[in-house]
Structure 1
Amino acid sequence: MRVRLLASAAILTAVGGGFLACNDSSTAPTSTTYVATLSGANEKPNPVTTPATGTATYTLTGNTLTYTITVTGLTSNTTMSHIHVGSSAVAGPIVVPYTVYAIQNGLVTTGSIDLTNPVASGANTISGDSLKVLLNNGNAYTNVHTSNFPAGEIRGQIIKQ
């Protein structure tokens, strides 16, 4: 009887382990983080002399891109902020507009974008997949515009971490 009980326990352990190994475990989508370090020296075509700095942090999880942009030392209130297409050497078109708070220090904007739908800014429309490619290749940047610098006071290339 004892031998049969031990044999049964061994079989159950082996079979149970097999079930665990075959179990279809659902995993959460992986997240990718991107960061842009914002400064006036990064503005193109003309760098801006300003004490302002900032950080734009993006997290891509599945088809949702969340973002937070913070600044310090702007010379006037923010008027706009966007993601633009372009390398660090050029001024490119806007592809993702944000609603911003009119501030000089602190949180400019925060939110999320559903990338299952195209993202539009005026005449420019980009698919979520195309935006992901731009972010992964470093071909997009964040720009913060102010009353004193309508073309942009601080800017930073969005870099995959």
Structure 2
Amino acid sequence: MRRSRQAQQERLANSGYVQGTLAVSFDTASDDTLFGPQRTARDDLPDPTWWAGRITHALIEVMTGLRPAPQVVRWTSPEVYAVVARRSALAARRAANPGARTTRQRLSVLRVRVCEPVDGVIEAAVVLQHGSRVRAVAMRLEGQDGKWRVTALQIG
């Protein structure tokens, strides 16, 4: 019996058949590319002009303490969310100060300009009025997992 098994293995080795292998190479793939956020093409995403205005409005409300920070976590990268949440906590501490003024200022988006350097990536400039001040916001939106996500944010 041992002799027949050895003969069978020799026949298989000479035939070129190899059992249990797949023609897949994981050398170039990492966990981030396989299981991380997946890029989404522009055609599969909502209107970027409307979306940039809405997300800017929401982010400013979070940073001024009018909206809780977790409401924007799914639409921001971890880096942007950390900055927004930190400014939200600072605004909450300022509002808790007994001598602080707590007047709510009107916030409205005046103008949104977008450009698309690459498919699924939008760079937007948003002008908004916050009380008596006019502010500029620059952001980068990337299509990830079927939605726009803010990956860079600069407020002037």
* TM-score normalised by the chain length of structure 2: 0.29
User: Which has the larger helix fraction?
Assistant: 2
> Which structure has the larger Rg?
2
* TM-score normalised by the chain length of structure 1: 0.29
